[in-house]
Amino acid sequence: MEVSLIDSRCMIVVGTRPEIIKMAPIIREFERQAFPYILVHCGQHYDYNMSQQFIEELELPKPDYGFEVRAYSPGVQTGRIIMRIERVVRAEKPRIVLVEGDTNGVLASALAAVKLNVPVAHVEAGLRSFDLRMPEEHNRRLVDHLSKYLFAPTETARRNLERESVWGQIYVTGNTVIDAVAQHMPLALERSTVMSRIRFKHFALVTAHRAENVDDFSVLSNFVEAFSEAPLPVVYPIHPRSRKRLRQRKMLSRFAEAENVQLLPPLGYFDFLVLMKNCDMIITDSGGIQEEATAPSIRKPVLVIRLSTERPEAVEVGFANVVGVEKERMLKAMEHTVNEKAKLPRTSPYGDGTAAKKIVGVLREVLQ
Amino acid sequence: MYMKLMLVVGARPQIIKSAPITREALKHREIELQLVHTGQHYDFEMSKIFFEEMDLPEPMVNLGVGSGTHAWQTGNMMIKLEKTIIKGKPDLVMVPGDTNSTLAGALAAIKRNTPVAHVEAGARSYDMQMPEEINRRLTDHCSSLLFTPSNKCVRNLQGEGISKKYIRLSGDTMYDAMLQHLPTAAKSGVLRKLGVDKDLYGILTLHRPENVDTAETLRGIMKAMMMLTDLTVFFPVHPRTRERLAKFQLLNQLEATSHVKCVDPVGYHDMLWLVKHAKLVFTDSGGLQKEAFWLGTPCVTLRSRTEWTETTRQGANVLVGSNSRKIVAVTRNIMAQRDIKSRLRKLKNPFGDGQASKKIIAETLRWR
């Protein structure tokens, strides 16, 4: 039986850019199957317009509802999003609310839904860093414990959920990030001109944005030292805040002197995809990039400049290596990766790019 | 060591659960107690009387949140609680029970990186339709210190992957409260006021949305009460329930039934004394199931699930739902057992020894 009646609608909530990227394949699958849905964009005020633009760039449909939440503290932010999302859920009466990831917006949206007795489906369920100092760890865990449908990207994630005896139904689907890379890479290669600006043929691509790294000056100066002495050229799209901090401490000039370091302003998603495709290795503290690097059209070794990861699968199969933030260990790991030309697996531990299809399939089934 | 302890209360049962903790905390000079009232209780006057009855100090602040939808209430409380936490700078936020105030307190605290202690942790009905079940579960997963009323609750938490090192078996502070307040209850004179004889009447309390919001369910329960012509039933009517009874045209009929006595809501002491001397209790409340158990009064629970299976397991509490025939059959069976109360009084109490609050405060100080 086909479900196309209005009362079988799902509500998809997105907020930050990573959520938009990972939800994009699901939105496209809803479109492809002509399955009814409502798209809600709830953003934080400082990047709301950017996210809105990003939705257009990815050629996704315009959200049915969009609102930005001005808040300077996480509690107020979470509280306000609960109240805003509640109004939408009450007006639209969706059968399921679909959220992705682990931000305060995700927790707030899920809470609003569950408080109105609307079942929640969590995409990318079961991730755990077991580090409760990360606010995302609380958000993930709470959303998993209030969701009725849990879409775990991997068997590891499923085991995490089973160990916590979540009450919802678990489905292992793969991660939609792999679908997303496959769908977005052609667009990126067509539109991005970033490679014409890169001075090197072979290089390591660096991203660092986590507060515990870039807000800690001793860590940041480790980065400067390590990258300046790196065994291969380094391309580093640097956040203006980190750049400013380096200049204040007179460290920026070290980068300027180092011939093998090219600093770039922050890059768009498409430029970044193209750089990932063309680099020799990726050095990052981001979670999502550890996954993207394993996509067939990228396939690059990753050095994780953090102390822990909630994505152990890439480490287990040999794509990633958690190297911490000490200069010597970072350098050693870079050398090792250059010399060994790490033999990377053919397939991604995060699925075969059919996660969105599986997720929408489950949603259709449970709604029938 | 000096410690700022913020205790968040809102609804009536939380005020009961907190009274012994407050009393114990005030004995310790090294504790600065910050009592916060969210105002979740709909009637300011009523809650003030209740504070006085439980001999609680004036709260440091009343957030005056008032009634609203669950999501609105939770969001709004989070926003106000965060401000209170920023101002009070507590070392620990303690939340008792399973209401929206409990969850909002826990969420606001973790969003400010303040550790949370949950009193009455680990209770589970595994009925996700109950909003309290979500509140309990999420609060437990926010907490760094979990005070459980019974061994069963410890096992429930461990089953959800919560490490033993965070769990403390304290016993139930509601039991402490009962023991502390029984002497006052004995002087309440409520039996004389209502003109009833010991052991010759039943008590009915009803407030849960799933019971009072649908005409059919409410009618089923009322029909059972009207059929029990040989039992005088005292029915302190919750304002919300009264409104529904009127809406479903049941109120007139009920008031015309001579053996069912609709009375105004009664205070804690009167209720304790009424329960102690009742032939049996009909209820959909959580706390009353335990109070009936401790007082050796048979309990007929008008729900299909309970979080207090310790009471049903020993046969002191029967789950009957809202089916009138079943309610009547179970009641007749109980009424036929002459020595039932003396047998119930001999049952083992799995909810501690009445020293739960002492243990909670001692463990809290040690934890610090």
Q: Which two tokens stand for residue A211?
A: 């507060």
Q: A141, B141: Cβ pair inside 8 Å?
A: yes
Would the pLDDT of A29 be above 80?
A: yes
What residues of A are in the B interface, CB distance below 8 Å?
Answer: 73-76, 78-83, 85-86, 89-90, 104, 108, 111-112, 114-117, 132-133, 135, 138, 141-142, 145-146, 148, 163-165, 167
Task: Give the pLDDT of residue A8.
Answer: 76
Write the ipTM.
0.90
Task: Report residue A215 CA to chain centroid gap.
Answer: 20
For residue B12, which of B207, B318, B268, B206 has the smallest C-alpha distance?
A: B268
Residue A304 belongs to what H/E stretch? Answer: strand A302-304
Q: Helix, strand or coil for residue A361?
A: helix
Residue A171 belongs to what H/E stretch? Answer: strand A169-172
Percent of chain A residues topping a pLDDT of 70: 98
B305 contacts on A by Cβ (under 8 Å)? none
| Per-residue pLDDT reduced to its tens digit, A62-79 | 999 999 988 779 999 999
Would the pLDDT of A3 be above 90?
A: no
Percent of chain A residues topping a pLDDT of 90: 77
Task: Give the pLDDT of residue B42.
Answer: 60
Would the pLDDT of B1 be above 90?
A: no
Place of tokens 């495709």: A277
Instruction: Name the closest residue on chain A to residue B85, using Cα atoms.
Output: A75
> One of B207, B238, B259, B277 is an active-site residue; which one?
B207
When CB atoms are compared, the residue of B78, B85, B128 closest to A78 is B78
Task: Check CB contact of B128 with chain A, cutoff 8 Å.
Answer: yes
Task: Give the pLDDT of residue A135.
Answer: 85
Percent of chain B residues topping a pLDDT of 70: 99
Active-site annotation holds for B207? yes
Across A212-221, average pLDDT: 87
Return d(Cα A153, Cα A312) in angstroms, integer. 12
Q: B137, A145: Cβ pair inside 8 Å?
A: yes
Would the pLDDT of A209 be above 90?
A: no
Q: Which two tokens stand for residue A252?
A: 């920026």
Residue A241: CB atoms within 10 A of its CB come to: 11
- Which residue stretches of chain A are H helix? 17-32, 48-57, 74-92, 104-115, 135-146, 155-163, 176-191, 211-214, 217-228, 240-248, 252-257, 269-278, 287-292, 312-316, 327-340, 355-367
Task: Check CB contact of B72 with chain A, cutoff 8 Å.
Answer: yes
Would the pLDDT of B2 be above 80?
A: yes
* Domains B3-172+352-367 and B184-345 are alike in CATH topology: yes
Place of tokens 């079961």: A126
> One of A122, A138, A184, A209 is an active-site residue; which one?
A209
Task: Give the pLDDT of residue B45.
Answer: 65
Q: B161, A163: Cβ pair inside 8 Å?
A: yes
Task: Give the pLDDT of residue B44.
Answer: 61
Task: Give the distance from residue A156's alpha carbon to the nearest chain B alpha carbon, in angstroms.
Answer: 15
Across A324-348, average pLDDT: 91
Let me know: does B103 contact B93? Beta carbons within 8 Å.
Answer: no
CATH topology of domain B3-172+352-367: Rossmann fold (3.40.50)
Let me know: does B247 contact B264? Beta carbons within 8 Å.
Answer: no
Let me know: does B99 contact B11? Beta carbons within 8 Å.
Answer: yes
Task: Give the pLDDT of residue A212.
Answer: 82
| Per-residue pLDDT reduced to its tens digit, B261-288 | 999 989 999 999 999 999 999 999 999 9
Which H, E and C letters describe A109-164, residue by residue?
HHHHHHHCCCCEEEECCCCCCCCCCCHHHHHHHHHHHHCCEEEECCHHHHHHHHHC
Average pLDDT value over all residues in chain A = 92
Fill in the DSSP letter of residue A89: H
Return d(Cα B165, Cα B199) in angstroms, integer. 45
Burial A78-90 (b: 16+ CB within 10 A, else e): bbbbbbbbbebbe
Would the pLDDT of A38 be above 80?
A: yes
For residue B149, which of B128, B166, B168, B177 has the smallest C-alpha distance?
A: B168
Return d(Cα A314, Cα A306) in angstroms, integer. 14
Task: Give the pLDDT of residue A236.
Answer: 95
Min mean pLDDT across A140-154, B43-57, B226-240 is at B43-57
A81 contacts on B by Cβ (under 8 Å)? 75
Would the pLDDT of A2 be above 80?
A: no
Would the pLDDT of A5 be above 80?
A: no
Let me know: does B77 contact B100? Beta carbons within 8 Å.
Answer: yes
Across B219-243, average pLDDT: 95
For residue B14, which of B131, B93, B101, B132 has the smallest C-alpha distance?
A: B101
One CATH from 3.40.50.11540, 3.60.110.10, 3.10.100.10, 3.40.50.2000 for B184-345: 3.40.50.2000
Q: Domains of chain A (ranges plus CATH)?
A: 6-174+353-367 (3.40.50.2000), 185-340 (3.40.50.2000)
Return d(Cα B37, Cα B44) in angstroms, integer. 11
Would the pLDDT of A4 be above 60?
A: no
Q: B79, A116: Cβ pair inside 8 Å?
A: no
Confidence category of residue A1, pLDDT binned at 50, 70, 90: very low
Across B314-319, average pLDDT: 96
Confidence category of residue A51, pLDDT binned at 50, 70, 90: confident
Return d(Cα A1, Cα A338) in angstroms, integer. 55
Task: Give the distance from residue A14's alpha carbon to the nearest chain B alpha carbon, in angstroms.
Answer: 19
Residue B211 belongs to what H/E stretch? Answer: helix B209-212
Backbone phi, then psi, for B178, in 5-degree steps? -60, -45
Sequence spans of domains, chain B: 3-172+352-367, 184-345
Q: Which residues does residue A204 pair with via DSSP β-bridges, in sequence order? A: A234, A281
Instruction: Name the closest residue on chain B to residue A143, using Cα atoms.
Output: B138
